[in-house]
């Protein structure tokens, strides 16, 4: 450890960390509460927890085999968080100091998060490693967050504290790094806990960095409670009999706000499966929904795709998904075909396609911006591709045989929020015209922590948030067509990187989410499209055949040439939430080509 990190001495006291036990038979918290449900009237997170703690509902944590491993009722969360807050006060940190927590799916993370708020400190969640083989990359990622968030304390469980200690070396602002168990051994201050104010920072949310380096979004208590109220009252219409289930990571905005904080604010129970366990056994999530009669569960589209890929006919006999009334979909571009396949696969298990609830949001607006209508399923429109590309105008498809794009209806803004579409000149566009998506409302961030330059880029006059997404409005509903940074402009034509990737993924040799497309500016100012593919082919003839075929397909579809680079599996960089990072993929390609000097239509050597 670095000499800048103080190792405080403390007497031994009773730790209150949850320990899995085979001796005690655990019972999940019930669905029906003893408390009258309140969906509004809370100004801060801690005031919401104080009320939820009067009931009998709470958080439930399951292992990969679907067995209950820990239970954390809201009443116990309140007790443990307040106790831990007294120990945090022993560090004598200024109010608003940051605490970094590696966010495993565990009771300890939730306790620490709320303990920070009781102590007047600002938590921020850091990811667990996506691939344990990328040790150096993960440590570098943690170090960047510790420095950017100017954390005073870093906490991780035994599985990850070694990574955190390594990342903290040389970070001047860090005072202490350790595990929740060690932290609970520090003496309690026994001070009166000061209430939070709505204008105080509730937490920092680091963006996933799918196109840029992660930045810490500053979310106030007021913005958080505004967004939560819109989600639970207007988006989901939460009822006393609701119960939630989630596999989403706690360090992702949809996992944290939507599936950790929203259930507590509405006093409903929620069942968790760790993200890594879901990746191995995705059907355990569906079994939780079926067994515990969960009504609200969200997923990224690729999660639904994984379930549909893994399910067997024999699995369907044991599932009853008829209870699932709100199947929220978001966090990345929604492909209608993914939803259709899932609905078809699980219809015999009682899943109703009208449960699909597409929505749109981003961390810079706390979480949610728009929701589609409950009980109406996924609605989409087919538009003419040529008009979309050439004129940036949406024309509904009138004739068969023409090239088309299908976009999902993400619904209307939450109350108190406005969405507008603007052109390159910043002027507002009319309906059915494609442009940049801007959002205004009380859920919008105050800025990026200690990053005025990026804040100025994102927040426009009038506190309009430039989302970086491209879309259009139709009859008041929002349709997202892509990311502005994911649009490649070649010879004046706007080509969506996602369209090129989807074309590549249709080839039998290319797996889903193993293709990344982006533009590279050549010395003469022209833009070249690059398509990087993770490839398992070893024969030179097969590899060259794939390269040639992909180049031909891209030319036939878009009328442009492209560079195709084949790389080994696990080469393409991914964000903390598992999405491909086109920005990082582009940087990696530039580094590889600079090393080899190759800028021609060839594959890279396996390295």
Rounded average pLDDT over 393-402: 74
Q: Strands 435-440 and 464-474, how do they pair?
A: antiparallel
Per-residue pLDDT, 596:
37
Q: Are residues 223 and 336 in the same domain?
A: yes
Find the mean pLDDT for residues 181-205: 92
pLDDT digit string (tens) for 115-140?
A: 999 999 999 999 887 655 467 767 87
pLDDT of residue 134: 61
The predicted structure's pLDDT at residue 581: 80
Residue 462: φ, ψ to 5°: 85, 10
| Distance (Å, whole) CA 165 – CA 156 | 9
The mean pLDDT of the chain is 86
Average pLDDT, stretch 59-71?
96
On the question of pLDDT at 331 being above 90, the answer is no
Per-residue model confidence (pLDDT) at position 213: 60
Are both 410 and 478 inside the same structural domain? yes
**Contacts with 451 (C-beta within 8 Å, 6 or more apart), sequence order:** 148, 215, 216
Contacts 24+ apart (CB under 8 A), 584-593: 584/209, 585/516, 585/518, 585/532, 586/518, 586/520, 586/530, 588/532, 589/518, 589/520, 589/530, 589/532, 589/565, 590/520, 592/565
Residues 360 and 371 in one domain: no
pLDDT in tens, 417-443: 999 999 988 899 999 899 999 999 999
> Assign residue 546 a region: left if phi > 0, alpha if psi is -120 to 50, beta otherwise?
alpha
Helices (H) and strands (E) in the chain, counts: 19, 28
Over 80: is that where the pLDDT of 400 sits?
no
Model confidence at 598: pLDDT above 50 = no
pLDDT band at 458 (very low <50, low <70, confident <90, very high): very high
Query: Could you identify the residue written with the tokens 């009822």?
Result: 239
* Residue after which a domain boundary falls, among 339, 364, 389: 364
Name the pLDDT band for 492 (thresholds 50, 70, 90).
low
Q: Are 410 and 179 in contact (CB under 8 A)?
A: no
More confident site: 479 or 493: 479
Across 236-259, average pLDDT = 95
Specify the pLDDT at position 91. 94
Separation of alpha carbons 85 and 77, rounded Å: 12
Q: Is residue 20 part of a domain?
A: no
Note whether residue 386 is domain-resident: yes
φ, ψ dihedrals at 383, nearest 5°:
-125, 155
E strand or H helix that includes residue 515: strand 515-521
Please tell me whether residues 382 and 338 are part of one structural domain: no
On the question of pLDDT at 6 being above 50, the answer is no
Confidence of residue 565 (pLDDT cuts 50, 70, 90): very high
Question: Is residue 211 very low, low, confident or very high in pLDDT (cuts 50, 70, 90)?
Answer: very low
**More confident of the two residues 22 and 412:** 412
Residues 137, 69 within the same domain: yes
Please compute the mean of the pLDDT values over residues 281-285 and round it to a whole number.
94
Q: Band of the pLDDT at 94, cuts 50, 70, 90? A: very high
Higher confidence at residue 287 or residue 558? Answer: 287
Q: Domain for residue 415, yes or no?
A: yes
My answer on whether 350 and 416 are in the same domain is: no
Write 454-462 long-range contacts (CB < 8 A, 24+).
Answer: 454/215, 458/364, 460/426
Least confident of 381-390, 405-414, 512-521, 546-555: 381-390
Among residues 364, 383, 408, which one ends one of the domains? 364
CATH number at residue 259: 3.40.50.12780
Asked if pLDDT for residue 485 goes beyond 90, the answer is no
Sign of the Cα pseudo-torsion (301, 303, 304, 305, in order):
positive
Number of domains within the chain = 3
| Whether residue 204 is found in the same domain as residue 244 | yes
Mean pLDDT over 455-463 rounds to 92
Would you state the structure tokens that stand for residue 597, as one six-digit string?
Answer: 């000097």
pTM: 0.80
**Highest-confidence segment of 182-196, 223-237, 572-586:** 223-237
Quick one: residue 377, left, alpha or beta (phi over 0 = left, psi -120 to 50 = alpha)?
left
- In 3D space, the residue among 542, 472, 548 whose CA is nearest the CA of residue 509 turns out to be 542
In a domain, 215, yes or no: yes
Whether 493 shows a pLDDT value over 90: the answer reads no
| Chain Cα centroid distance, residue 533 | 24
The CATH code of the domain that includes 553 is 3.30.300.30
What pLDDT was estimated at residue 494?
67
Are 338 and 371 contained in the same domain? Answer: no
Q: Which domain range does residue 151 map to?
A: 45-364
15 occurs within a structural domain = no
Give yes or no: residues 324 and 415 share one domain. no
**pLDDT tens string 83-92:** 999 999 999 9
Q: Is residue 244 part of a domain?
A: yes
Query: Are 590 and 518 members of one domain?
Result: yes
Strands 326-329 and 356-361: parallel
Q: Are residues 415 and 337 in the same domain?
A: no
Residue 22 inside a domain? The answer is no
Q: Is residue 463 part of a domain?
A: no
Whole-number pLDDT of residue 515: 92
Domain boundary residue among 364, 382, 404?
364
Q: What is the pLDDT of residues 11-35, one digit of tens each?
A: 233 333 344 444 468 999 999 999 9
Domain containing residue 373: CATH number: 2.30.38.10
More confident residue, 227 or 190: 227
Do 201 and 83 lie in a common domain? Answer: yes
């Amino acid at each position: 450890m670095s000499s800048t990190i103080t190792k405080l001495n403390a007497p031994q006291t009773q730790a209150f960390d949850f320990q899995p036990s085979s001796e005690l038979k655990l019972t999940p918290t019930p669905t029906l509460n003893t408390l009258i449900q309140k969906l509004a009237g809370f100004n801060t997170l801690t005031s919401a927890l104080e009320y939820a703690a009067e009931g009998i509902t709470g958080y439930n944590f399951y292992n990969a085999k679907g067995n209950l491993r820990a239970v954390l009722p809201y009443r116990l969360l309140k007790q443990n968080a307040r106790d831990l807050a007294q120990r945090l006060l022993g560090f004598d940190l200024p109010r608003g100091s940051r605490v970094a927590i590696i966010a495993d799916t565990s009771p300890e993370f939730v306790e620490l998060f709320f303990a920070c708020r009781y102590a007047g400190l600002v938590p921020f969640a850091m990811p667990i490693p996506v691939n344990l083989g990328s040790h150096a990359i993960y440590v570098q990622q943690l170090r960047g967050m510790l420095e950017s968030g100017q954390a005073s304390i870093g906490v991780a469980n035994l599985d990850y504290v070694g990574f955190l200690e390594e990342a903290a070396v040389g970070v001047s602002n860090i005072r202490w790094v350790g595990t929740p168990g060690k932290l609970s051994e520090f003496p309690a201050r026994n001070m009166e806990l000061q209430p939070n104010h709505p204008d105080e920072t509730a937490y920092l949310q680091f963006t996933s960095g799918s196109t840029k380096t992660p930045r810490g979004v500053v979310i106030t208590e007021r913005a958080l409670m505004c967004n939560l109220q819109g989600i639970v009252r207007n988006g989901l219409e939460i009822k006393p009999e609701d119960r939630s289930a989630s596999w989403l990571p706690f360090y992702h905005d949809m996992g944290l706000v939507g599936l950790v904080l929203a259930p507590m604010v509405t006093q409903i129970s929620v069942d968790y499966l760790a993200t890594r366990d879901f990746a191995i056994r995705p059907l355990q999530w569906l079994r939780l929904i079926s067994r515990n009669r969960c009504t609200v569960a969200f997923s990224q589209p690729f999660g639904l795709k994984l379930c549909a890929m893994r399910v067997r006919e024999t699995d369907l006999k044991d599932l009853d998904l008829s209870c699932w009334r709100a199947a929220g979909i978001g966090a990345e571009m929604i492909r209608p075909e993914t939803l259709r396949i899932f609905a078809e696969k699980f219809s015999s298990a009682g899943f109703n396609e009208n449960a699909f609830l597409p929505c749109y949001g981003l961390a810079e607006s706390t979480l949610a911006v728009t929701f589609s209508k409950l009980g109406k399923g996924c609605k989409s429109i087919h538009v003419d591709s040529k008009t979309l590309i050439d004129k940036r105008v949406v024309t509904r498809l009138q004739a068969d045989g023409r090239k088309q794009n299908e976009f999902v209806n993400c619904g209307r803004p939450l109350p108190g929020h406005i969405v507008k579409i603007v052109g390159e000149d910043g002027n507002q566009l009319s309906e059915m015209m494609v442009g940049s998506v801007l959002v205004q409302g009380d859920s919008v961030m105050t800025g990026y922590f200690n990053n005025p330059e990026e804040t100025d880029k994102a927040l426009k006059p009038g506190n309009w948030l430039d989302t970086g997404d491209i879309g259009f409005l139709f009859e008041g509903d929002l349709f997202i067509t892509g990311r502005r940074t994911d649009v490649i402009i070649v010879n004046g034509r706007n080509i969506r990187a996602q369209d090129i990737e989807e074309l590549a993924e249709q080839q039998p040799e290319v797996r889903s989410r193993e293709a990344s497309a982006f533009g590279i500016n050549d010395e003469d100012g022209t833009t070249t499209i690059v398509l990087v593919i993770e490839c398992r082919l070893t024969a030179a003839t097969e590899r060259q055949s794939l390269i040639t075929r992909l180049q031909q397909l891209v030319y036939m579809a878009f009328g442009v040439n492209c560079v195709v680079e084949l790389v080994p599996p696990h080469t393409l960089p991914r964000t903390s939430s598992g999405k491909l990072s086109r920005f990082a993929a582009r940087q990696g390609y530039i580094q590889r080509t600079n090393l080899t000097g190759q800028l021609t239509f060839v594959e890279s050597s396996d390295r």
